[in-house]
Structure 1
């Protein structure tokens, strides 16, 4: 997959460079689009930052377009997506704060390992090589993808029930349905297989350089009630990242699930 920075992304980078304000780059994960960060962008802009929220390569612009052509998401893999975000970041005149959620959290940690981030936040990040726990709730959440080897080359759409278990288990049904209808899009199955096999494959793309002194400060956030990337995964990632000479911190947010970046909280 070749990284092509879109006109929208180029305009966002140029705006950030012209603003003179510190940039913050948001990295979304599977089953979401860049637009899912809109409220976060507005919050950071009100507080003196300039926000940049690239998409994954070839992502549609809207949920409606995504649902109309789901296979556009197929075949997207961890390194190709990371390279796309790196292309956007290297066009910035100042190193950004990088904030990622879910697979975006893994990608944010990969970006940090490249030494191009001023600081990094990983929220409910997907596991990388060296992160060993496989909690049963995480395996159940991943089953709609990992249960069929053919999904490695497909885009996968979650049913509402699957979304409710993996994402919205700490929300009432009305809000869960609202989030599902507002934000949920198909996702590439490949990254989940990459993460699931990372500890068996020495050449995996699902790995992060957590030892480089250029990594900078890193915060790992866990939603205590997350069924998709539970605290056990986040604690194991923290244990790895804490080997870095830079500041590494870990915070748990009680009573929050995987939807914590898009829900009412």
Structure 2
């Protein structure tokens, strides 16, 4: 699958972060021949500082997962051909949901929020998501992650100055309803259905979406004629899009896209992907 001027990548932003997190990724993929779209999230077409100044934001607080999936589906349907979807975190789950609707030529789920029923017992996951779920707090108010929460859930392992700078540049309020919907039937994936090629990327140091949770997500796909792939990259936390190694991750995705026509039986490819048509 080589890039052509008509081939489009749509980047889908996760929760708690501004869509500007894709700025460098957009330039990178455009340099490799792709047309790129980075739609802002619902009620989030503003800078991170502006969005934080609106906290609590009733419009953001109203966002639901089904509504957000329909929002991105409408954007994708307007394109002349099926795009490649690249989503991070909640954007990864949205990528899975849109592939289930047969709306993409391929999908990449980076540190994806898991679909309904895919669980982990890692303490770091529960510590990270408790605040965003917002139980025992007003659901009509958006949730703004504190710097301390950001440092644990997103930027663990990074120098303090970089953690603070990333928080200032990218952290935004989010909907508690959206976070909770990830636990409901709105996040349901039929793992037996055929789907376009799908790559999962995981990070070895991610607290909020541990690599083992990404692997469980990948392993659930069962359709024998559909290609899935998985790769865990060392030293990546949940702020993977802005870490110094982000270019390596982007190259990893390009490598996978370019080799798609040659995928056959499950194997570990020369590029380090666990790949192939899933079968049980």
TM-score (norm. length: structure 1)? 0.86
Answer 1 or 2: which has greater helix percent: 1
Q: What is the root-mean-square deviation of aligned Cα atoms in Å? A: 1.6
Structure 1 stretch displaced more, 144-153 or 174-183: 144-153
Structure 2 residue aligned with 1:232: 212
Query: What secondary structure does 1:157 align onto?
Result: coil
Contact 2:154–2:237, Cα closer than 8 Å, also in 1: yes
Matches within 5 A, 1:210-225: 210-213=191-194, 215-225=195-205
Matches within 5 A, 1:67-86: 67-70=52-55, 71=57, 72-86=59-73
Q: Which runs of 5+ in 1 are unaligned?
A: 1-18, 199-203
Query: What secondary structure does 1:158 align onto?
Result: coil
Structure 2 residue aligned with 1:131: 118
Determine if the alignment matches structure 1 residue 205 to structure 2 residue 186: yes
Deviation at 1:151, TM superposition (A): 4.9
For the structure 1 residues 245 and 40, does the alpha-carbon distance in structure 2 shift closer, same or farther, using more than 3 Å as the test?
A: same
Q: What is the alpha-carbon distance in structure 2 between the residues aligned to residue 208 and residue 53 of structure 1?
A: 24
Decide which of 29, 44, 51 is 1:66's aligned counterpart. Answer: 51
Structure 1 stretch displaced more, 134-143 or 97-106: 134-143
Structure 1 residue aligned with 2:253: none
**Size of the alignment, in residue pairs?**
240
Q: What is the alpha-carbon distance in structure 2 between the residues aligned to residue 244 and residue 188 of structure 1?
A: 36
Q: What is the alpha-carbon distance in structure 1 between the residues aligned to residue 229 and residue 198 of structure 2?
A: 6
Structure 1 residue aligned with 2:127: 140
Determine if the alignment matches structure 1 residue 53 to structure 2 residue 34: no
Contact 1:130–1:240, Cα closer than 8 Å, also in 2: no
Q: What is the alpha-carbon distance in structure 1 between the residues aligned to residue 152 and residue 81 of structure 2?
A: 39
Q: After the TM superposition, list the runs of 4 or more consecutive aligned residues in structure 1 that deviate by more than 4 angstroms.
A: none
Query: What secondary structure does 2:86 align onto?
Result: strand
Deviation at 1:242, TM superposition (A): 4.3
Structure 2 residue aligned with 1:262: 242
Contact 2:191–2:221, Cα closer than 8 Å, also in 1: yes
Decide which of 170, 176, 199 is 1:189's aligned counterpart. Answer: 176
Q: What is the alpha-carbon distance in structure 2 between the residues aligned to residue 133 and residue 166 of structure 1?
A: 15
Deviation at 1:127, TM superposition (A): 1.4
For the structure 1 residues 60 and 149, does the alpha-carbon distance in structure 2 shift closer, same or farther, using more than 3 Å as the test?
A: farther
TM-score (norm. length: structure 2)? 0.81
Deviation at 1:245, TM superposition (A): 2.4
Deviation at 1:153, TM superposition (A): 3.1
